[in-house]
Amino acid sequence: MVSLTIIKYKKRFVPFAFLAMAFFRIPLFFNKNISFWKLMGSGKSGSFDKTPDLQQWAIFTIDDRLLITSEKEFLYGNFIAKWLSFFKTESITYILEPIQGHGLWDGKKLFSDSPVKQNFEGKIAVLTRATIRVSKLSAFWKHVTGAAQEMKTAPGFILSYGIGEIPWIKQATFSIWENAEAMKNFAYKMHNHAEIIKKTRQQNWYSQDMYVRFKILLCEGCINGNKALDLKL
């Protein structure tokens, strides 16, 4: 089971959001049910973005248990759940089942290249993450803005979050689409994104990257008045 929780702090609590990125490492590290985890910040545009959103943060985990729930106590433990409640955060949690993936995250192959559900036709989530070579940062950021704007107007696009471990260098986009066909049409047929895919391969922009498609098993929560259940999964 994979979980992604997007967390929104009130402005006055932003310093505590930074502290959380240090404190949360301890319970996650010692949680025997979690085989992989990442604490990440967010960009403002909903995709790869140089400008951070200091109010918005993310927790990503791979859990060995199969129970489908968005309860923070179950997913991340009591300390994290009580912290998020005490600071009156808003959050949306996605519970995900990997359909297919390739690539590495911190040198680890987390998901299989072989499709788990080859004929799945419902709404899908896509996680695209990359470690950008320092020597290629200028070229990458020169091209990424156009693709981010293109994604928001693409047919079948629902929403996206820009997340990442290190600003400018370790970046990821989590996006949700009406179906796989809509996602493919954006990735390979819309000019700016197709050009990025081409240049990435030709100019070797990334030292490491990973791409995963997910079936969305559950999404619950609310941020800025937008309820996750409005997706009508």
Q: What is the CATH number of the domain that holds 164?
A: 3.30.70.100
Residue 231, pLDDT > 60, answer no
Residue 4, pLDDT > 60, answer yes
Domain presence at residue 230: no
**Domain count of the chain?**
1
Residue 232, pLDDT > 90, answer no
Residue 88, pLDDT > 70, answer yes
- DSSP-derived secondary structure letter, 183: H
Model pLDDT, residue 46: 62
Domain presence at residue 233: no
Report CA torsion sign: 52, 56, 62, 68: negative
User: Which two tokens mark 119?
Assistant: 């004929």
pLDDT tens column, 58-78: 999 999 888 889 999 999 999
Can you tell me the distance from the alpha carbon of 98 to that of 23, in angstroms, rounded to the nearest whole number?
Answer: 28
Domain presence at residue 231: no
Domain presence at residue 119: yes
Model pLDDT, residue 96: 95
Model pLDDT, residue 216: 93
Range of the domain at 134: 2-225
> What percent of the chain is predicted at pLDDT more than 70?
90
Domain presence at residue 44: yes
Distances (CA, A) of 137 to 11, 52, 85, 166, 205: 30, 17, 38, 13, 8
Residue 206, H or E segment: strand 206-223
CB within 8 A of 25, min separation 6: which ones? 39
In contact, 173 and 182? CB cutoff 8 Å: no
3-state secondary structure of 119: coil
Q: What is the pTM of this model?
A: 0.90
More confident residue, 19 or 198: 19
